[in-house]
């Protein structure tokens, strides 16, 4: 069983169907494919590339914009569907990485390589923040559509709070590689977005 891949074609097909749901405008297959492409770019830095790939595939598998426990539900799904495909420690690391996407704070691992993998994984998830302005704006519109049930004043206040919290961090990204590649643009994008939210409030 140990040689069985964590994510096989059958599982990819099953998960892809979840990501293709009609109410997913950003948290969809395109987001997963973008993260998998980044995992390919940085594969040489990953201690356990397969575990990171599994975390990418599962991290938004359950996504309901009205729910508060999507990450916990996605982690539970990963634990169920990956049971028997790896040792308990490896599956626990995958689950912890998925859970960490709720706050984007690093999970605590004893192992330095696992910490680095988690940092790279979380940075891949947030890389859209440092995209070119047009791509960032499209991302913001897509997320707004996912929360179309939230009234505009509530949306503006909530979104502004999220942006302020990220901008207040000493670093948005955990790894040196992603800070160099994405941090300056991410700060510009988010500051611009915040200004727009506050000026039209």
| pLDDT digit string, tens, across residues 21-74 | 999 999 999 999 999 999 999 999 999 999 999 999 999 999 999 999 999 999
Residue ranges of domains in the chain: 9-199
What pLDDT is stored for residue 1 in this prediction? Answer: 42
> And the tokens for 187?
């700060």
State the average pLDDT over residues 73-101.
Answer: 96
The rounded percent of the chain whose pLDDT value lies above 90 is: 95
Average pLDDT of the residues of the chain: 96
Q: What is the pLDDT of residues 161-183, one digit of tens each?
A: 999 999 999 999 999 999 999 99
Taking the C-alpha atoms of residue 81 and residue 116, their distance in angstroms, rounded to an integer, is: 25
Q: State yes or no: pLDDT of 118 exceeds 60.
A: yes
> At the fourth CATH level, which superfamily is domain 9-199?
3'5'-cyclic nucleotide phosphodiesterase, catalytic domain (1.10.1300.10)
Helix axes 49-58, 29-41, angle to 10 degrees: 170
If pLDDT is split at 50, 70 and 90, which confidence band does 197 have? very high
Taking the C-alpha atoms of residue 130 and residue 126, their distance in angstroms, rounded to an integer, is: 8
What pLDDT is stored for residue 201 in this prediction? Answer: 63
What pLDDT is stored for residue 185 in this prediction? Answer: 98
What pLDDT is stored for residue 86 in this prediction? Answer: 87
Highest mean pLDDT among 4-8, 86-90, 120-124: 120-124
Q: State yes or no: pLDDT of 194 exceeds 70.
A: yes
The residues, any chain, with a CB within 8 Å of residue 145's CB and separated by 6 or more, are: 25, 26
State the average pLDDT over residues 102-124.
Answer: 96
Radius of gyration of the chain (CA): 17
Contact 131, 139 (CB under 8 A): yes
């Amino acid at each position: 069983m140990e040689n069985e891949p964590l994510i096989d074609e059958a599982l990819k097909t099953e998960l892809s169907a979840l990501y293709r749901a009609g109410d997913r405008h950003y948290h969809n297959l395109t987001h997963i494919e973008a993260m998998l492409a980044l995992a390919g770019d940085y594969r040489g830095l990953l201690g356990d590339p397969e575990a990171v790939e599994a975390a990418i595939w599962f991290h938004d598998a359950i996504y309901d914009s009205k729910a508060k426990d999507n990450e916990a539900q996605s982690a539970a799904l990963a634990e169920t569907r990956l049971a028997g495909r790896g040792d308990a420690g490896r599956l626990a690391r995958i689950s912890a990485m998925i859970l960490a996407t709720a706050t984007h704070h690093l999970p605590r691992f004893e192992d330095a390589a696992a910490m680095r993998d988690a940092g790279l994984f979380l940075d891949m998830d947030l890389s859209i923040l440092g995209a070119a302005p047009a791509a960032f704006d499209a991302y913001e519109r897509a997320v707004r559509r996912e929360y179309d049930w939230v009234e505009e004043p509530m949306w503006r206040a909530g979104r502004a709070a999220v942006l302020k919290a990220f901008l207040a961090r000493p670093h948005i990204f955990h790894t040196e590689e992603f800070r160099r590649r994405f941090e300056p643009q991410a700060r510009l994008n988010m500051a611009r977005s915040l200004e727009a939210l506050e000026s039209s409030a």
